[in-house]
Amino acid sequence: MTGSTPTPPKLSKSRFGSTVPSQADLALLSQPLTLPFSGKVIKNRFCKAALSESLAGAEGQFDKDHLDRFVPLYDAWAAGGSGLVLTGNVMVDRTMREMEHNVSVEDSRDLGRLKVWAQTVQKHGAALYAQISHPGRQTHAHLTKNPVAPSAIPVSNFHPLMSFNTPRELTTEEIQSIIARFVKTSEVLYEAGFDGIELHAAHGYLISQFLNPRTNERTHDQYGGSLENRARFLTEVVEGIKKVTPKEFSIGVKLNSVDFGRRRQGGAGGEEEVDEHLEEAVQVAVMLEGLGVDFIEISGGSYESFATGLLDGKGVPDGSPNATNNTAAAGDKKTKKVATTSSSTQKREAHFAVFAERISRALKTTKIILTGGFVTASAMADSLKSNHSSGTHIDMVGLGRTVCQEPDLPNLILSGAVTGGVRLPKTPGGFFDDVFICGGNIRRMANGKHPVASLGRLAVSCDHYAYSMDYAKVAVHKVKTIFS
């Protein structure tokens, strides 16, 4: 893109940012990235982050009717310019799902349709990675009556209309059986032509539950206690996948900042406690590099973290139009809700940058993807500028909600046409309304329609109401339990 004259920028009050990237920034964003262990070449530095599509069958099946909705959706994202495309959660066990309509891959029954999914993305020069996962204890009560986890520690109900059943502690034999499921799912996806997989070790799901000392209290076997033991589930999954797939099949891991503490100003333990927990995250990252993991995606949060205000103090991701910007002096209870990027976003514009920087300093070859809060093109480019004096590096930018409103945002940025993503309308429900808007737009794209972002068009969009039905089932179950 650097040799052509960019299209005049679409400067608009409905977009984030005020300036288009410089030619040097465009060159950085469009630069191919070679992954260190598989040798895969990603055509640019944009990663379409994982987003639950909720488009499979009610039992996780992936029939032709479901494929017919995945194809236009993923065609839109891949044609839009993302170099690496991550799927939503692909479950390794159809009896244990994060959401009712997650795709489940346990065996080769859907191999032909999985091949079409991969080819849909790859024909645009993008790489397709399946994010594979097991929810552990974090599966809604109406889906799983008897969830499992490293330890029998229940999920704190983060929303009054959602509920989770208390999990049963896994036996050692069951743990090894689930590891085998991750390996089998990866083998099938390799056979289907996927470029790789990303292990979901974040957001409070099963792998995250093993890593986290607050959810893993095992003392009687090799999967609990020390950091090495808590990481064993993850490392054995990676080792197992390596044994059944060739070197060219790429493995990434999504790691969670919350599992290793979070940055706080003041509070119990202070900065020293957080530093200790972040050091554990660094050690896990180094373990993964030693096993040949191509990239680590840095993310954060879990269902419980929303309840404790992990993100901006109100359970809203920084950079969301529903985020709050505290403009008052210390001790003043007044906050001002703004539609512009908050001060912390202006400084770094990525929720988990401190975590990412700490890890990147320790890694020699494994690449870092940073996902969360990017809304301006200039900040995306700035994040990729290595700090050679400190040894930090971010190698790709992960985009989620922004490409639900505008799947071709990477192409628009690389053409020099826009300053950043489209602003979502401000809504009274905060982050969960953002999720509603994005989920509805995923359904619109799956039905061959364009996304919408205005409140008026959202109000008459059948696709958005259809998406909300998934959450309505969760709420109905909660109400039934209250009155039973």
Average pLDDT of the chain?
Answer: 81
Interior angle at CA 355, CA 350 and CA 361, nearest 5:
115
Is the pLDDT at 348 greater than 80? The verdict is no
Mean pLDDT for the stretch of residues 133-138: 94
CB-based burial, 221-242: b 16+ in 10 Å, e otherwise: eebbbebebbbbbbbbbbebbb
Looking at residues 15-37, what average pLDDT do you find? Answer: 95
Q: Is the pLDDT of residue 392 over 90?
A: no
CA dist., res. 25 & res. 444, Å (int): 32
- Please tell me the predicted confidence (pLDDT) of residue 314: 36
pLDDT at 248 over 80: yes
Write down the pTM of the prediction: 0.85
Instruction: Give the range among 8-12, 250-254, 353-357 with minimum mean pLDDT.
Output: 8-12
* The length of the chain, given as a count of residues: 484
- Output the pLDDT for position 158: 61
Q: Rounded mean pLDDT of 204-223?
A: 94
Q: Lowest mean pLDDT: which of 99-108, 359-368, 399-408, 434-443?
A: 434-443
Parallel, antiparallel or unpaired: strands 127-133 and 250-256: unpaired
Residue 452 pLDDT: 84
Residue 278 identity:
L
Confidence of residue 331 (pLDDT cuts 50, 70, 90): very low
pLDDT above 90 for 393: no
306-317 mean pLDDT: 35
Mean pLDDT of 264-272: 44
Q: What is the mean pLDDT of residues 262-279?
A: 51
- Tens of pLDDT, residues 57-103: 887 889 999 999 999 999 999 999 999 999 999 999 999 988 888 99
**150 within 8 A of 174, measured Cβ to Cβ:** no
Of 298 and 58, which is predicted with more confidence? 298
Could you give the residue range(s) of every CATH 3.20.20.70 domain in the chain?
23-262+274-314+345-422
pLDDT digits (tens, 9 = 90+) for 427-483: 666 656 667 788 889 999 999 999 987 656 666 566 655 656 665 555 555 555 555
Higher pLDDT, 305 or 230: 230
Question: DSSP assignment, residue 195?
Answer: S
Highest mean pLDDT (candidates 163-172, 232-241, 394-403): 232-241
Percent of the chain with pLDDT over 70: 71
Cα–Cα distance measured from residue 27 to residue 451, given in angstroms and rounded to the nearest whole number: 28
- Which residue in the block uniquely carries the two structure tokens 């009054």? 160
The residues near 401 (Cβ < 8 Å, ≥ 6 apart) are 51, 320, 424, 434, 437, 438
Q: How far apart are CA 41 and CA 55, in angstroms?
A: 29
Tell me what pLDDT residue 101 has. Answer: 85
User: Does the pLDDT of residue 185 top 80, yes or no?
Assistant: yes
**Letter string b/e over residues 49-67, b meaning 16 or more CB atoms within 10 A of that residue's CB:** bbbbbbbbbeebebeeebb
**Rounded Cα gap, residues 116 and 135, in angstroms:** 26
- Position 178 pLDDT exceeds 90: yes
- Does 190 participate in catalysis according to the annotation? no
Least confident interval from 58-62, 155-159, 415-419: 155-159
Q: Report pLDDT for 11.
A: 40
* Selected catalytic residue, list 74, 129, 205, 467: 205
pLDDT confidence of residue 259? 66
pLDDT for the residue numbered 436: 76
The least confident of 16-25, 276-285, 393-402, 439-448 is 276-285
CATH 3.40.50.10680 fits 23-262+274-314+345-422, yes or no: no
Mean pLDDT of 368-385: 90
Give the tens place of pLDDT for each residue, 33-55.
999 999 999 999 999 999 989 89
